[in-house]
Amino acid sequence: MAETFDLVIIGSGPGGLSSALLAQKSSKSHLILEKGRNIMQGIIDTYPKGKKVYPTIPKGYEGLFPVPEIKPPEEKVPVELYIEQIQALASKSRLNIHFNEEFQEIMGAYPDYLVKTNKGSYLAQNIILAFGSNIPNDLGIYGEAKTVRRNIENGEDYIGVNVLVIGGGNAAADVVCSLSKIKRQAKDDTTSVYWAHIKETFEINKDTARDLGEEILLGGHIKILQKAVPKIGEVDAEGIDRLYIHQTISPSLGNDLYTYQGMSFPMKNVIACIGTHGPSAIFDTLNLQQITCTGVICKIAREGERLLMLSEHFETGRKGIYAIGGAISPSYMEIGSDGIIKEKKHSNLIFTAVWDAKIAVDKILQG
Ligand SMILES: Cc1cc2nc3c(=O)[nH]c(=O)nc-3n(C[C@H](O)[C@H](O)[C@H](O)COP(=O)(O)OP(=O)(O)OC[C@H]3O[C@@H](n4cnc5c(N)ncnc54)[C@H](O)[C@@H]3O)c2cc1C
Protein backbone atom coordinates (compact mmCIF):
# COMPACT_ATOMS: atom_id res chain seq x y z
CA MET A 1 0.00 0.00 0.00
CA ALA A 2 1.40 3.41 -1.01
CA GLU A 3 2.26 5.90 1.78
CA THR A 4 -0.18 8.82 2.04
CA PHE A 5 0.70 12.54 2.42
CA ASP A 6 -1.26 15.77 2.64
CA LEU A 7 1.25 17.27 0.23
CA VAL A 8 3.77 15.83 -2.20
CA ILE A 9 6.29 18.36 -3.54
CA ILE A 10 8.37 17.85 -6.65
CA GLY A 11 11.81 19.48 -6.34
CA SER A 12 13.92 20.66 -3.41
CA GLY A 13 14.77 24.15 -4.68
CA PRO A 14 13.71 27.33 -2.83
CA GLY A 15 10.07 26.82 -3.91
CA GLY A 16 9.83 23.17 -2.87
CA LEU A 17 11.62 23.66 0.46
CA SER A 18 9.48 26.69 1.37
CA SER A 19 6.34 24.69 0.60
CA ALA A 20 7.51 21.87 2.89
CA LEU A 21 8.43 24.21 5.75
CA LEU A 22 5.05 25.94 5.55
CA ALA A 23 3.15 22.64 5.43
CA GLN A 24 5.14 21.38 8.40
CA LYS A 25 4.33 24.51 10.46
CA SER A 26 0.65 23.72 9.96
CA SER A 27 1.11 20.05 10.86
CA LYS A 28 0.42 18.82 7.34
CA SER A 29 2.38 15.75 6.30
CA HIS A 30 4.70 16.24 3.33
CA LEU A 31 7.15 14.45 1.07
CA ILE A 32 9.70 16.15 -1.20
CA LEU A 33 10.89 14.20 -4.23
CA GLU A 34 14.28 15.36 -5.53
CA LYS A 35 15.85 13.77 -8.58
CA GLY A 36 19.35 14.96 -7.65
CA ARG A 37 21.71 13.85 -4.90
CA ASN A 38 21.43 17.07 -2.89
CA ILE A 39 19.08 19.71 -1.63
CA MET A 40 18.88 22.59 -4.14
CA GLN A 41 20.39 20.41 -6.86
CA GLY A 42 19.06 22.81 -9.51
CA ILE A 43 21.07 25.69 -8.04
CA ILE A 44 24.15 23.50 -7.50
CA ASP A 45 24.03 22.49 -11.18
CA THR A 46 23.57 25.96 -12.67
CA TYR A 47 25.41 28.58 -10.59
CA PRO A 48 29.06 29.33 -11.36
CA LYS A 49 31.43 28.36 -8.52
CA GLY A 50 31.67 31.12 -5.88
CA LYS A 51 28.79 33.14 -7.35
CA LYS A 52 27.27 35.52 -4.84
CA VAL A 53 23.58 34.91 -4.21
CA TYR A 54 21.44 38.04 -4.24
CA PRO A 55 18.27 38.31 -2.14
CA THR A 56 16.60 40.28 -4.96
CA ILE A 57 12.96 41.29 -4.59
CA PRO A 58 11.51 42.06 -8.02
CA LYS A 59 9.48 45.16 -8.82
CA GLY A 60 5.80 44.83 -8.09
CA TYR A 61 6.24 42.71 -4.95
CA GLU A 62 5.98 44.29 -1.55
CA GLY A 63 7.09 42.89 1.76
CA LEU A 64 9.65 40.49 3.12
CA PHE A 65 10.58 36.93 2.15
CA PRO A 66 7.49 34.97 3.26
CA VAL A 67 9.74 32.14 4.50
CA PRO A 68 12.68 34.03 6.03
CA GLU A 69 14.80 30.90 6.56
CA ILE A 70 15.19 30.53 2.77
CA LYS A 71 16.23 34.14 2.18
CA PRO A 72 19.81 34.49 0.94
CA PRO A 73 21.81 36.60 3.46
CA GLU A 74 21.87 40.38 2.88
CA GLU A 75 25.68 40.34 2.75
CA LYS A 76 25.52 38.30 -0.48
CA VAL A 77 27.42 35.14 0.33
CA PRO A 78 28.89 32.71 -2.24
CA VAL A 79 26.46 30.03 -3.39
CA GLU A 80 28.37 27.28 -1.52
CA LEU A 81 27.66 29.03 1.81
CA TYR A 82 24.01 29.57 0.92
CA ILE A 83 23.63 25.85 0.13
CA GLU A 84 25.26 24.95 3.47
CA GLN A 85 22.82 27.27 5.27
CA ILE A 86 19.87 25.56 3.57
CA GLN A 87 21.20 22.05 4.15
CA ALA A 88 21.54 22.79 7.88
CA LEU A 89 18.01 24.15 7.92
CA ALA A 90 16.59 21.07 6.19
CA SER A 91 18.21 18.65 8.62
CA LYS A 92 17.29 20.75 11.66
CA SER A 93 13.68 20.93 10.47
CA ARG A 94 13.66 17.19 9.68
CA LEU A 95 12.16 17.74 6.25
CA ASN A 96 11.06 14.54 4.59
CA ILE A 97 13.09 14.37 1.36
CA HIS A 98 13.73 11.43 -0.94
CA PHE A 99 16.87 12.03 -2.99
CA ASN A 100 17.70 10.42 -6.33
CA GLU A 101 14.00 9.91 -6.90
CA GLU A 102 12.59 11.29 -10.15
CA PHE A 103 8.96 12.27 -10.47
CA GLN A 104 7.28 10.75 -13.52
CA GLU A 105 3.51 11.07 -13.56
CA ILE A 106 0.31 11.72 -11.65
CA MET A 107 -2.63 9.35 -11.78
CA GLY A 108 -6.09 9.52 -10.27
CA ALA A 109 -8.11 12.58 -9.25
CA TYR A 110 -8.43 14.99 -6.32
CA PRO A 111 -8.24 14.18 -3.40
CA ASP A 112 -6.68 10.79 -4.16
CA TYR A 113 -3.77 11.44 -6.47
CA LEU A 114 -1.14 8.79 -7.04
CA VAL A 115 2.31 10.28 -7.70
CA LYS A 116 4.60 7.91 -9.58
CA THR A 117 8.40 8.06 -9.57
CA ASN A 118 11.23 5.86 -10.84
CA LYS A 119 11.23 4.19 -7.42
CA GLY A 120 7.64 3.95 -6.25
CA SER A 121 4.21 5.55 -5.80
CA TYR A 122 2.72 7.86 -3.15
CA LEU A 123 -0.83 8.89 -2.41
CA ALA A 124 -1.36 12.64 -2.07
CA GLN A 125 -4.24 15.01 -1.61
CA ASN A 126 -2.25 17.97 -2.98
CA ILE A 127 0.80 18.25 -5.20
CA ILE A 128 3.14 21.19 -5.75
CA LEU A 129 5.22 21.11 -8.93
CA ALA A 130 8.39 23.01 -7.98
CA PHE A 131 10.73 21.38 -10.48
CA GLY A 132 12.24 24.61 -11.84
CA SER A 133 12.79 25.69 -15.39
CA ASN A 134 15.64 23.80 -16.88
CA ILE A 135 14.92 23.66 -20.60
CA PRO A 136 17.47 25.95 -22.28
CA ASN A 137 16.21 28.34 -24.93
CA ASP A 138 17.32 27.61 -28.46
CA LEU A 139 20.24 29.63 -29.83
CA GLY A 140 18.26 29.97 -33.04
CA ILE A 141 21.22 29.49 -35.34
CA TYR A 142 21.45 27.50 -38.50
CA GLY A 143 23.58 24.40 -38.04
CA GLU A 144 24.12 22.31 -34.95
CA ALA A 145 25.19 24.05 -31.74
CA LYS A 146 24.93 21.07 -29.43
CA THR A 147 28.46 21.43 -28.10
CA VAL A 148 27.77 24.96 -26.87
CA ARG A 149 27.65 24.88 -23.07
CA ARG A 150 24.92 26.45 -20.95
CA ASN A 151 26.90 27.05 -17.77
CA ILE A 152 30.43 26.68 -16.43
CA GLU A 153 31.30 23.29 -15.03
CA ASN A 154 34.88 24.16 -14.16
CA GLY A 155 36.01 27.77 -14.58
CA GLU A 156 39.70 26.78 -14.64
CA ASP A 157 39.09 25.05 -18.02
CA TYR A 158 38.87 28.52 -19.56
CA ILE A 159 42.26 29.80 -18.38
CA GLY A 160 44.37 30.67 -21.42
CA VAL A 161 41.49 30.59 -23.94
CA ASN A 162 39.33 33.36 -25.36
CA VAL A 163 35.78 32.57 -24.34
CA LEU A 164 32.48 33.88 -25.64
CA VAL A 165 29.50 34.29 -23.32
CA ILE A 166 26.18 34.94 -25.08
CA GLY A 167 23.20 36.52 -23.30
CA GLY A 168 22.07 39.84 -21.87
CA GLY A 169 20.73 38.92 -18.42
CA ASN A 170 21.91 38.21 -14.90
CA ALA A 171 22.95 34.61 -15.55
CA ALA A 172 25.27 35.71 -18.39
CA ALA A 173 26.66 38.57 -16.28
CA ASP A 174 27.43 36.16 -13.42
CA VAL A 175 29.30 33.83 -15.76
CA VAL A 176 31.24 36.72 -17.33
CA CYS A 177 32.21 38.02 -13.91
CA SER A 178 33.33 34.61 -12.57
CA LEU A 179 35.40 33.76 -15.65
CA SER A 180 37.04 37.18 -15.70
CA LYS A 181 38.00 36.82 -12.04
CA ILE A 182 39.49 33.35 -12.62
CA LYS A 183 41.52 34.68 -15.57
CA ARG A 184 42.67 37.76 -13.66
CA GLN A 185 43.86 35.64 -10.76
CA ALA A 186 45.63 33.12 -13.01
CA LYS A 187 49.22 34.04 -13.83
CA ASP A 188 49.99 35.38 -17.32
CA ASP A 189 46.54 34.86 -18.81
CA THR A 190 46.16 37.54 -21.47
CA THR A 191 43.01 36.11 -23.06
CA SER A 192 39.56 37.68 -22.67
CA VAL A 193 35.95 37.00 -21.88
CA TYR A 194 33.88 38.31 -24.81
CA TRP A 195 30.34 39.11 -23.78
CA ALA A 196 27.86 39.24 -26.65
CA HIS A 197 24.26 40.34 -26.54
CA ILE A 198 21.87 40.58 -29.42
CA LYS A 199 20.55 43.96 -28.18
CA GLU A 200 22.29 47.21 -27.34
CA THR A 201 21.29 47.26 -23.67
CA PHE A 202 21.80 44.55 -21.06
CA GLU A 203 19.09 43.61 -18.56
CA ILE A 204 20.83 43.08 -15.26
CA ASN A 205 19.93 43.99 -11.73
CA LYS A 206 21.79 46.52 -9.58
CA ASP A 207 23.71 43.98 -7.46
CA THR A 208 25.00 42.11 -10.50
CA ALA A 209 25.94 45.40 -12.20
CA ARG A 210 27.88 46.48 -9.12
CA ASP A 211 29.92 43.25 -9.04
CA LEU A 212 30.58 43.52 -12.75
CA GLY A 213 31.74 47.14 -12.42
CA GLU A 214 34.07 46.13 -9.60
CA GLU A 215 35.51 43.31 -11.71
CA ILE A 216 36.18 45.67 -14.63
CA LEU A 217 37.86 48.25 -12.36
CA LEU A 218 40.06 45.53 -10.87
CA GLY A 219 41.42 44.88 -14.37
CA GLY A 220 39.02 42.17 -15.53
CA HIS A 221 39.48 40.84 -19.06
CA ILE A 222 35.98 41.66 -20.33
CA LYS A 223 35.16 42.78 -23.87
CA ILE A 224 31.57 43.73 -24.60
CA LEU A 225 29.97 43.06 -27.98
CA GLN A 226 26.61 44.82 -28.30
CA LYS A 227 24.12 43.98 -31.03
CA ALA A 228 26.07 40.82 -31.76
CA VAL A 229 24.09 38.09 -33.47
CA PRO A 230 25.13 34.42 -33.30
CA LYS A 231 25.10 33.04 -36.81
CA ILE A 232 25.86 29.69 -38.33
CA GLY A 233 27.94 27.00 -36.81
CA GLU A 234 30.85 26.10 -39.10
CA VAL A 235 33.62 23.51 -39.21
CA ASP A 236 37.11 24.90 -39.84
CA ALA A 237 39.97 23.36 -41.82
CA GLU A 238 41.10 21.48 -38.72
CA GLY A 239 37.65 19.98 -38.19
CA ILE A 240 36.82 22.15 -35.17
CA ASP A 241 33.16 23.21 -34.74
CA ARG A 242 33.02 26.99 -34.54
CA LEU A 243 30.36 29.59 -33.83
CA TYR A 244 30.40 32.78 -35.83
CA ILE A 245 28.87 35.99 -34.44
CA HIS A 246 28.51 39.26 -36.26
CA GLN A 247 27.76 42.90 -35.63
CA THR A 248 26.31 45.07 -38.37
CA ILE A 249 28.66 48.01 -38.78
CA SER A 250 26.72 49.97 -41.36
CA PRO A 251 23.10 50.13 -42.42
CA SER A 252 22.28 48.77 -45.84
CA LEU A 253 24.75 49.97 -48.49
CA GLY A 254 21.92 49.61 -51.00
CA ASN A 255 21.32 46.83 -53.49
CA ASP A 256 20.90 44.41 -50.57
CA LEU A 257 24.46 44.93 -49.32
CA TYR A 258 25.43 45.17 -45.63
CA THR A 259 28.80 45.43 -43.93
CA TYR A 260 29.40 43.14 -40.96
CA GLN A 261 32.27 42.53 -38.65
CA GLY A 262 32.44 39.11 -37.12
CA MET A 263 34.32 36.81 -34.79
CA SER A 264 34.52 33.06 -34.76
CA PHE A 265 35.02 30.99 -31.60
CA PRO A 266 35.49 27.25 -31.17
CA MET A 267 32.09 26.05 -29.91
CA LYS A 268 33.73 24.43 -26.90
CA ASN A 269 34.72 27.95 -25.75
CA VAL A 270 31.18 29.33 -26.06
CA ILE A 271 28.73 29.51 -23.16
CA ALA A 272 25.16 30.48 -24.04
CA CYS A 273 23.23 31.92 -21.08
CA ILE A 274 20.14 32.80 -23.04
CA GLY A 275 17.53 31.72 -20.55
CA THR A 276 15.27 28.78 -20.07
CA HIS A 277 11.61 28.14 -20.67
CA GLY A 278 8.95 26.27 -18.77
CA PRO A 279 8.58 22.53 -19.13
CA SER A 280 5.58 22.68 -21.44
CA ALA A 281 5.93 19.03 -22.54
CA ILE A 282 5.69 17.83 -18.92
CA PHE A 283 2.58 19.94 -18.36
CA ASP A 284 1.09 18.27 -21.44
CA THR A 285 1.84 14.80 -20.09
CA LEU A 286 0.10 15.78 -16.87
CA ASN A 287 -2.94 17.05 -18.81
CA LEU A 288 -2.57 20.56 -17.42
CA GLN A 289 -4.27 23.22 -19.48
CA GLN A 290 -2.01 25.60 -21.45
CA ILE A 291 -2.69 28.48 -23.85
CA THR A 292 -0.76 29.05 -27.07
CA CYS A 293 0.53 32.63 -27.35
CA THR A 294 -0.33 34.92 -30.20
CA GLY A 295 0.72 38.55 -30.53
CA VAL A 296 -2.66 39.74 -29.26
CA ILE A 297 -2.65 37.92 -25.93
CA CYS A 298 1.07 37.63 -25.09
CA LYS A 299 3.50 40.46 -24.51
CA ILE A 300 6.29 38.55 -22.76
CA ALA A 301 6.22 35.06 -24.22
CA ARG A 302 7.14 34.41 -27.82
CA GLU A 303 4.61 33.71 -30.56
CA GLY A 304 3.58 30.06 -30.47
CA GLU A 305 4.93 29.46 -26.96
CA ARG A 306 2.56 27.64 -24.63
CA LEU A 307 1.80 29.06 -21.21
CA LEU A 308 0.36 27.22 -18.26
CA MET A 309 -3.07 28.34 -17.00
CA LEU A 310 -3.12 29.00 -13.27
CA SER A 311 -5.51 30.46 -10.73
CA GLU A 312 -4.50 33.41 -8.53
CA HIS A 313 -3.27 30.76 -6.08
CA PHE A 314 -1.07 28.96 -8.61
CA GLU A 315 -3.53 26.08 -8.86
CA THR A 316 -3.60 24.40 -12.26
CA GLY A 317 -6.72 23.24 -14.07
CA ARG A 318 -6.53 20.00 -12.04
CA LYS A 319 -7.75 20.71 -8.51
CA GLY A 320 -5.09 20.25 -5.84
CA ILE A 321 -2.16 20.41 -8.29
CA TYR A 322 -0.12 23.64 -8.08
CA ALA A 323 2.86 24.90 -10.11
CA ILE A 324 5.31 27.46 -8.72
CA GLY A 325 8.73 29.10 -9.07
CA GLY A 326 11.06 28.58 -12.01
CA ALA A 327 8.65 26.07 -13.57
CA ILE A 328 6.25 28.90 -14.46
CA SER A 329 8.82 31.57 -15.41
CA PRO A 330 9.16 33.85 -17.27
CA SER A 331 5.37 34.08 -17.66
CA TYR A 332 2.13 32.16 -17.25
CA MET A 333 -1.58 32.76 -17.86
CA GLU A 334 -3.62 33.76 -14.86
CA ILE A 335 -7.31 33.16 -14.77
CA GLY A 336 -8.68 35.69 -12.29
CA SER A 337 -11.62 35.17 -9.95
CA ASP A 338 -13.59 37.39 -12.39
CA GLY A 339 -12.85 34.85 -15.15
CA ILE A 340 -10.55 37.20 -17.06
CA ILE A 341 -7.40 35.56 -18.43
CA LYS A 342 -4.18 37.57 -18.63
CA GLU A 343 -0.50 36.90 -19.15
CA LYS A 344 1.49 37.41 -15.92
CA LYS A 345 5.17 38.24 -15.87
CA HIS A 346 7.00 36.00 -13.40
CA SER A 347 10.67 36.70 -12.64
CA ASN A 348 12.74 33.59 -12.07
CA LEU A 349 14.15 34.47 -8.65
CA ILE A 350 14.48 32.80 -5.27
CA PHE A 351 12.06 35.36 -3.86
CA THR A 352 9.29 34.58 -6.37
CA ALA A 353 9.62 30.82 -5.80
CA VAL A 354 9.22 31.39 -2.04
CA TRP A 355 6.37 33.85 -2.56
CA ASP A 356 4.47 31.40 -4.78
CA ALA A 357 4.97 28.62 -2.21
CA LYS A 358 3.33 30.74 0.50
CA ILE A 359 0.31 31.51 -1.67
CA ALA A 360 -0.13 27.90 -2.81
CA VAL A 361 0.24 26.41 0.69
CA ASP A 362 -2.15 29.00 2.17
CA LYS A 363 -4.74 27.88 -0.38
CA ILE A 364 -4.12 24.21 0.46
CA LEU A 365 -4.62 24.97 4.16
CA GLN A 366 -7.92 26.70 3.43
CA GLY A 367 -9.06 23.47 1.75
C1 LIG B 1 23.27 31.31 -12.96
C2 LIG B 1 22.08 31.70 -12.16
C3 LIG B 1 22.23 32.66 -11.16
C4 LIG B 1 21.10 33.03 -10.38
N5 LIG B 1 21.29 33.94 -9.37
C6 LIG B 1 20.23 34.29 -8.58
C7 LIG B 1 20.40 35.20 -7.49
O8 LIG B 1 21.51 35.68 -7.21
N9 LIG B 1 19.29 35.53 -6.75
C10 LIG B 1 18.04 35.02 -7.03
O11 LIG B 1 17.07 35.36 -6.34
N12 LIG B 1 17.86 34.14 -8.05
C13 LIG B 1 18.92 33.76 -8.83
N14 LIG B 1 18.74 32.84 -9.85
C15 LIG B 1 17.40 32.24 -10.03
C16 LIG B 1 17.03 31.23 -8.92
O17 LIG B 1 18.07 30.30 -8.71
C18 LIG B 1 15.74 30.49 -9.31
O19 LIG B 1 14.73 31.44 -9.49
C20 LIG B 1 15.29 29.49 -8.22
O21 LIG B 1 16.28 28.50 -8.02
C22 LIG B 1 13.96 28.81 -8.63
O23 LIG B 1 13.58 27.96 -7.57
P24 LIG B 1 12.64 26.68 -7.82
O25 LIG B 1 12.46 26.06 -6.49
O26 LIG B 1 11.44 27.07 -8.57
O27 LIG B 1 13.46 25.74 -8.81
P28 LIG B 1 14.94 25.11 -8.75
O29 LIG B 1 15.83 25.86 -7.83
O30 LIG B 1 15.36 24.94 -10.17
O31 LIG B 1 14.70 23.66 -8.11
C32 LIG B 1 14.04 22.64 -8.78
C33 LIG B 1 14.50 21.30 -8.21
O34 LIG B 1 13.65 20.28 -8.76
C35 LIG B 1 14.44 19.16 -9.08
N36 LIG B 1 13.73 18.42 -10.14
C37 LIG B 1 13.56 18.77 -11.44
N38 LIG B 1 12.83 17.86 -12.09
C39 LIG B 1 12.54 16.88 -11.18
C40 LIG B 1 11.83 15.65 -11.26
N41 LIG B 1 11.26 15.21 -12.39
N42 LIG B 1 11.73 14.89 -10.12
C43 LIG B 1 12.30 15.30 -8.94
N44 LIG B 1 12.99 16.46 -8.84
C45 LIG B 1 13.10 17.24 -9.94
C46 LIG B 1 15.78 19.76 -9.53
O47 LIG B 1 16.84 18.81 -9.39
C48 LIG B 1 15.93 20.94 -8.57
O49 LIG B 1 16.65 20.63 -7.40
C50 LIG B 1 19.83 32.46 -10.64
C51 LIG B 1 19.69 31.49 -11.65
C52 LIG B 1 20.80 31.12 -12.40
C53 LIG B 1 20.63 30.09 -13.49
SS3 of 266-286: EHHHEEECCCEECCHHHHHHC
pTM for the model stands at 0.85
User: To test the ligand 1 pocket, which listed residue (8, 35, 271) has its Cβ within 8 A of the most ligand atoms?
Assistant: 35
User: What are the distances in angstroms from CA 197 to CA 53, 132, 331?
Assistant: 23, 25, 22
Burial 18-36 (b: 16+ CB within 10 A, else e): bbbbbbbeeebebbbbbbb
Q: What integer pLDDT is reported at residue 316 of this predicted model?
A: 98
Measured distance CA(123)–CA(297) in Å, rounded = 37
Which residue's CA is minimally distant from atom 46 of ligand 1? 42
Indicate the pairing of strand 30-33 with strand 341-345. unpaired
Residue pair 354/68 in contact by the 8 Å Cβ criterion = no
Q: Report the separation in Å between the CA atom of 150 and the middle of ligand 1, taken as the mean of its atom positions.
A: 14
Q: Report the separation in Å between the CA atom of 160 and the middle of ligand 1, taken as the mean of its atom positions.
A: 31
Measured distance CA(217)–CA(95) in Å, rounded = 44
Each residue of 248-302: pLDDT tens digit?
A: 777 778 888 888 889 999 989 999 998 777 788 899 999 999 999 887 777 777 7
The ligand 1 atom nearest the CA atom of 133 = 30
User: To test the ligand 1 pocket, which listed residue (75, 153, 179, 350) has its Cβ within 8 A of the most ligand atoms?
Assistant: 350
Of the candidate CATH numbers 3.40.50.1820, 3.30.530.20, 3.30.2270.10, 3.50.50.60, the domain formed by 155-272 belongs to 3.50.50.60
Q: What integer pLDDT is reported at residue 32 of this predicted model?
A: 98
Which residue's CA is minimally distant from atom 15 of ligand 1? 349
What dotted CATH number matches 3-135+279-366? 3.50.50.60
Residue pair 7/23 in contact by the 8 Å Cβ criterion = yes
- Name residues of the chain where pLDDT drops below 70: 141-147
Domain with CATH 3.50.50.60 in the chain: 3-135+279-366, 155-272
User: What are the distances in angstroms from CA 192 to CA 149, 150, 164, 243, 312?
Assistant: 17, 19, 9, 17, 46
| Pocket-forming residues, ligand 1, beta carbon under 6 Å | 10-16, 33-36, 40-43, 46-47, 53-54, 56, 102-103, 130-132, 171, 174, 325-327, 348-351, 353
Q: Report the separation in Å between the CA atom of 11 and the middle of ligand 1, taken as the mean of its atom positions.
A: 9
Q: What integer pLDDT is reported at residue 232 of this predicted model?
A: 74
The ligand 1 atom nearest the CA atom of 14 = 25
Q: Report the separation in Å between the CA atom of 40 and the middle of ligand 1, taken as the mean of its atom positions.
A: 7
For residue 152, the one-letter residue type is: I
Distance of CA 146 to the CA centre of its chain: 19
User: What are the distances in angstroms from CA 143 to CA 147, 227, 231, 241?
Assistant: 11, 21, 9, 10
